[in-house]
Chains A and B, each alone.
Chain A
Amino acid sequence: MNALLYGSTTLSGAEWWALFAHFLMLSMLAIGGAMVTAPDMHRYLVQERGWLSAGSFTDSVAIAQAAPGPNVLFVAVLGFQVAGLAGAAVAMAGSLLPSTVVALQAARWLQHHRQALGVRAFKAGLAPITIGLLLSTGWLLSAPARTLTPQWPLLGLMAASVLLSLHSKLSPVWMILAGGLAALVFGW
């Protein structure tokens, strides 16, 4: 029961606060969506703190992408992997609180001033950054497919899902499940 609530690693009070504070900060930086913060979550949780292995980080994102719902839910899975249900709650609250306050305060103002030079420059300047962040997220998530020796079936699966996503209206949920089943059947 305790493992479910708090996970297997026991975080100190300061570590709980650090986890919450890091997600609070990332919430404010998530311009272009929650997925752009994935590389920094990886850097923080896997490299800096060592709370998660690289493998379970990628697995967490895959699980969240396979489930229906907004992709911000990968944050809940990461929080759960680090520190159980309490970790999921802390990570989600941290990720949503600042952005919610800003969204409710700023949306009306932004829509009113969307022609203003500053707003247009903000949008134009951050667009290439968002794309760069998405590319690095994709690179990071593909790590298991290119460890030591390239895993060609997995890389092929990845390329196929890029093409399918660009050229068909197939739901991502089905693509993820099909990819998982293919890997299961062929033992990739």
Chain B
Amino acid sequence: MPEQAQAGPAAPPQSAWAIYCAFNRLALQGFGAWLDRTQFLELLSVCQVLPGPNVVNLGLVLGHRWLGWRGAAAAASGLLLIPTLLVLMLAVAYQAWGQWPALASLLRGMGAVAAGLVLAMAFKLAPALRQNALGWPLCAAFALATCLAVAWWRWPLAAVVLGLGSLACGLAYLRLRRQARHDAA
């Protein structure tokens, strides 16, 4: 059944169950193999502009396109239902045995890797800033200011995104407009 979903728009899945199964399988396997398909990349870039978890948004939008609200619900529950149960079982185990020294060591090691993975995500995205309309020096300044504001000065996220974010978007708008006029002339 998941093959139907992977075939893309050419052969849309017919049932909510098929969509649920496909996304459940994807959730449990991770998305590495899946994201290099062009149609998904284009959708993903749209989903990255939208607020919320990217992968869940992607599932919602695809599911909705295929089968309306039933497809969206099937995709979201496929992505979230079983993984949520699994992760909550781990959380219960953590509450019961988290104080054990061995488990505390295990979690410290896991935490260090988790921190590394998030940093790696930032490094993977950073090269894309070279094509950014703001230019890389301004991008670096905004990234640094955001990092300091959040990690050092502990500003609330709303202030950072609404303040620095709208300043950055405004500057990007001015630059893109100037570029468009320049191209037209």
A-to-B contact residues, CB < 8 Å: 4, 25-37, 39-40, 43, 47, 56, 58-73, 76-77, 80-81, 85, 88, 92, 95-96, 98-100, 102-104, 106-107, 110-111, 114, 117-142, 144-145, 151, 154-155, 157-162, 165-166, 169, 171-173, 175-184, 187-188
Contacts and interface: CB of A to CB of B under 8 A. Distances in A.
Question: Closest 10 CB pairs between A and B?
Answer: A99-B52, A183-B109, A69-B83, A132-B146, A125-B169, A161-B116, A179-B113, A165-B120, A40-B157, A121-B173
B41 interface: no
B164 A172 contact: no
A179 B36 CA distance: 28
Contacts of B184: none
Nearest to A70: B55
20 contacts: A4-B92, A34-B52, A36-B157, A60-B91, A68-B83, A72-B55, A76-B84, A85-B88, A103-B60, A104-B60, A107-B50, A120-B176, A121-B133, A123-B48, A132-B147, A138-B115, A142-B115, A157-B109, A179-B112, A183-B105
B94 A59 contact: yes
A84 to B, nearest CB: 9
Contact of A73 (B84, B113, B117, B170): B84
A111 B30 CA distance: 25
Contacts of B57: 99-100, 103, 107
A43 B152 CA distance: 11
A34 B161 contact: no
A59 B111 contact: yes
B112 A183 contact: yes
B154 A35 contact: no
A131 B64 CA distance: 30
A131 B125 contact: yes
Interface string B101-119: 0100111111111111111
Contacts of A4: 92
Interface residues of B: mostly helix, strand, loop or mixed? helix
Given A70-B79, A129-B142, A34 B160 contact: no
A180 B55 contact: no
Given A61-B111, A132-B143, A180-B107, A111 B46 contact: yes
Contacts of A47: 154
A98 B168 CA distance: 24
Contacts of B185: none
A65 B116 CA distance: 11
B169 A128 contact: no
A25 B107 CA distance: 30
A31 B107 contact: no
B151 interface: yes
Nearest to B119: A138
Given A31-B161, A125-B134, A131-B143, A65 B107 contact: no
Nearest to B166: A125
A139 B49 contact: no
B50 to A, nearest CB: 5
Given A28-B51, A39-B151, A171-B30, A117 B113 contact: no
Given A69-B84, A76-B88, A172-B30, A141 B105 contact: no
Contact of B113 (A64, A139, A180): A180
